[in-house]
Amino acid sequence: MEDEEAMEAMEAMEGAEDTEAFIELDGVEKVFDVRKKTGFLKRERRRVRAVDSISFSVARGEMVGYIGPNGAGKSTTIKMLTGILTPSGGRLRVAGIDPSRERTRLAHRIGVVFGQRTTLWWDLPLLDSYKLMRRMYRIPDTRYRHNLDRLVELLDLSALLDVPVRQLSLGQRMRGDIAAALLHDPEVLYLDEPTIGLDVISKAKVRDFLRELNTERGTTVLLTTHDLQDIEQLCSRVMVIDHGRLMYDGPLAGLHEVGESERTLVVDLERELPPIEAAPARVVRVEGPRQWLAFPAAESAAVLVARIAAEYPLVDLSVREPDIEAVIAKMYAEQAEKADRAEQAGKAIS
Ligand SMILES: Nc1ncnc2c1ncn2[C@@H]1O[C@H](COP(=O)(O)OP(=O)(O)OP(=O)(O)O)[C@@H](O)[C@H]1O
Ligand SMILES: [Mg+2]
């Protein structure tokens, strides 16, 4: 027994020190038992496989996007990585720690921001929440002061410290939450939709801050978002999850290729004209003098615009980025098709 404990301690130490994989998932599953009322006194039991055998690893200092449609299993994964939820199967380690078994020990090394709900005390001024965090995490005084000063400056919080959290705007509250998650110098930060509902300027501030945190302090970041621009601006690597399964793990550019995503150029012409001809772009919609052209996301919009401007009387234009849901939906459809074809091929052989 003692040997086993010693082994485990060694394993934990190895995991904590310069291992390649800082976050490691191996065949992780989470199944929820849901009871649904189907009639008077009648209940139906249903099993929801929220996370279905997911494996990946994240190295120390990486900044990885974790995306997927609603209900894909992203938040469930993050909850397992913090120890809030216990996996139904598989193996999971963060900094060498099994999150659900040693949640408190892990808490000192991770920071979490759930965009949908705050970890701050609603009725207290922001600063009081931070003081409570200092007590909870037993942050030494000098370190607390140093971190607070830095975070207040970088996240522009000085005017907000005396304001009760419930009076903060969404964007202010989010910045307050991010600071709260970082007061104890965590090595890894999980962000579950940190830019949800933020205006353009607040989003930019949060992104700048995260970039700096990652490059200057080497904090490992796992970022869940529905905003593809968050990923484009911050993450060199993206993982896509759908129906609890990992569909893609690689660079964002590769995702566009896999999903064959398209951008849309919307042009306003001087007058109604027949559909513009500018292959590989193709007109997908015409409304009076306005036309919508879909073109491969990898193509340069500038080149396309220049070509159209040279031949058509252009008044105005705008480019719409591919919608992340559409990219994923397309990718998912392709995966399903591939599986179908493989099955058909299998049948043909047998
Ligand atoms: N506590 C729970 N009990 C039962 N089912 C749950 C529970 N939490 C999540 N689920 C289910 O698990 C699946 C994955 O949910 P999850 O919250 O992880 O999705 P998500 O990828 O974060 O989606 P979103 O983009 O909408 O936030 C969904 O079908 C959801 O209904
Ligand atoms: Mg979620």
**pLDDT tens digits along 75-85:** 999 999 999 99
Residue 236 has a CB neighbour count (10 Å cut-off) of 13
**Ligand 1 pocket by Cβ (under 6 Å):** 32, 34, 48, 50, 68, 70-76
Measured in Å, residue 117 CA sits from the centre of ligand 1 at 15
Distance CA 297, CA 104 (A): 45
User: How much distance in Å is there from the Cα of 227 to the middle of ligand 2?
Assistant: 13
Residue holding tokens 């193996």? 91
Give the separation between CA 11 and CA 14, rounded to whole angstroms. 5
Atom 17 of ligand 1, residue of closest alpha carbon = 75
Ligand 1: which residue has its CA nearest to atom 27?
Answer: 70
Q: What residue owns the CA closest to ligand 1's atom 11?
A: 50
Pairing of strands 262-269, 282-287: unpaired
User: 0.85 cut: is pTM over it?
Assistant: no
Give the full edge-to-edge strand order of the sheet including 110-114: 110-114, 188-192, 220-224, 63-67, 237-242, 245-250
Residue nearest to atom 3 of ligand 1 (CA): 32
Per DSSP, what are the bridge partners of residue 248?
A: 240
The closest of 89, 65, 96 to 78, measured between CA atoms, is 65
**Residue 270 to residue 267: CA distance in whole angstroms:** 10
What was the pLDDT predicted at 328? 65
> What is the predicted pLDDT for the residue at 237?
94
- Residue with CA at minimum distance from ligand 1 atom 6: 32
Nearest ligand, CA of residue 36? 1
| Tens digits of residue pLDDT in 95-113 | 999 999 999 999 999 999 9
Atom of ligand 1 nearest to the CA of 226: 25
At a CB cut-off of 8 Å and minimum separation 6, what does 303 contact?
none
Q: Per-residue pLDDT tens for 34-43?
A: 888 777 777 7
DSSP state of 167: G
- Out of 52, 76, 192, 245, give the residue to mutate to test ligand 1, the one with the largest number of ligand atoms within 8 Å of its CB: 76
Mutate to test the pocket of ligand 1, among 49, 52, 74, 328 (most ligand atoms within 8 A of CB): 74
Question: Where residue 342 falls among pLDDT bands split at 50, 70, 90?
Answer: confident
- pLDDT, residue 337, reads 74
- Lowest model confidence (mean pLDDT) among 11-15, 65-69, 226-230, 254-258: 11-15
Ligand 1 atom 16: residue of nearest CA: 73
The pick from 36, 46, 48 for probing ligand 1's pocket by mutation, whose C-beta has the most ligand atoms within 8 angstroms, reads 48
156 — phi, psi (to 5°)? 60, 55
pLDDT of residue 272: 95
